[in-house]
Structure formats: C-alpha cells, structure tokens
Amino acid sequence: MTSSVLDLAPVVPVVVLEDAADAVPLARALVAGGLPAIEVTLRTAAAPDAIRAIAAEVPDAVVGAGTVISARNVADTVAAGARFLVSPGWTDTLLDAMKGSGLPFLPGVSTTSEVVALLERGVTEMKFFPAEAAGGTAYLKALSAPLPQARFCPTGGISAASAPSYLALPNVGCVGGSWMVPGDAVAARDWARVERLAAGAAALRG
C-alpha cells in the first residue's frame, strides 16, 4: 500500500489520455525513466480504462486518478485500480469520500484558509493548485513558517526549468507536471522520447 504520494518520486507525471490503448506503453516508458507514480486525470472518457490497464499490466507503476471532484469519481477510480487520488480542490463531501477510500489522497488548495481547514481535519499532505497562478514558490515559502506541518505537491504551470525551485522548498515533497508527456509525443506514440524526458525529470532534486 502506498502510504504517501509525496515520497514516491520528485515528479508525478500528470497524464491526459484520449486513447486508453496508449496507457500501458506510456506508463512503461515513464516507469523506465524513473517516474513510477502516474496521475491519470479524469478529463477524458478514456481515463478509467487507462487506469484499469496500467493497474493490471504495469506492476511497477503506482497509478493514481487526478481531477477527482466527486464521490462517484472516487468510487469509479478505486474500482478501476487507482492507488492514490488527487483533486484540484475539496469540499467536505469530497474529502469524506477520499478518506473513506482508504487510499492516500492529495486534496487541492490554493489559499491559507484551505490549508488550515485541512489541517483541522487531520490532513497534512495536499496538492497546491494552480501552483504558478496561485503564487508559486513565493507563496509556498511564505506558508512554511506558520504552517510547517503542511506538505505539498504543487501542480499547474510547472516546467522542467521551474521544478527545482519548488523541490528546494522544505514543505514540498514532489511536483506534478506534464512536460515529460508532451501531447505531440503521445500522439506520435514516441515512447522513447517520453522515457528520456522522464529520466530528466526523475533526476530533479531540490
């Protein structure tokens, strides 16, 4: 069982798949590059089948579901084999569903009040989203002094160039990004390129 999403790898690929048939070769390329934690976002109809395929056929991958915004999303992705859950934001209802799943989860926050509210509920690991638009490294650095118990996976607008500055922060466990799964590479099924980009991302340490 995955205990913490934040400690699996420095970078969690955020994957959007239009065709579930691409899921297994993409996941294998990411794992080969050193990125075992893979967030498949529920932005496409192919996502549940993609999660199911990775869970069944890529044992070294730790596949999770992103853009989880309802209790139904939680139930469906758990049934598909997801091993962690990520949401762009949270409500009490969604938080209860994610807690009830028994899986590690990262509820999304973008304000100090949201962080405090989660800490009040016993949640210390969160997604900071949309990271760049919500204040970036300066905002997270400012949070670390008053709220040192909160740890984050910043996601949203992060690139290979900006990731190291996030990873250097004491309250950042990993970052989420999609630069190692560019749309043109996925469309061309250029898995060798994905593996190379994943290897570069896996080498990023704060």
Quote the CA–CA distance of 144 and 131 in Å, as a whole number: 15
CA dihedral 187, 192, 197, 200 (to 10 degrees): 170
Element (H, E) at 31: helix 23-32
141 is catalytic: no
Catalytic residue among 99, 125, 127, 141: 127
**In 3D, which of 148, 84, 70 has the Cα closest to residue 116?**
148
Quote the CA–CA distance of 70 and 35 in Å, as a whole number: 27
Q: Is beta strand 125-128 parallel, antiparallel or unpaired with respect to 37-41?
A: unpaired
127 is catalytic: yes
Catalytic residue among 18, 39, 99, 125: 39
Q: Which residues are annotated as catalytic?
A: 39, 127
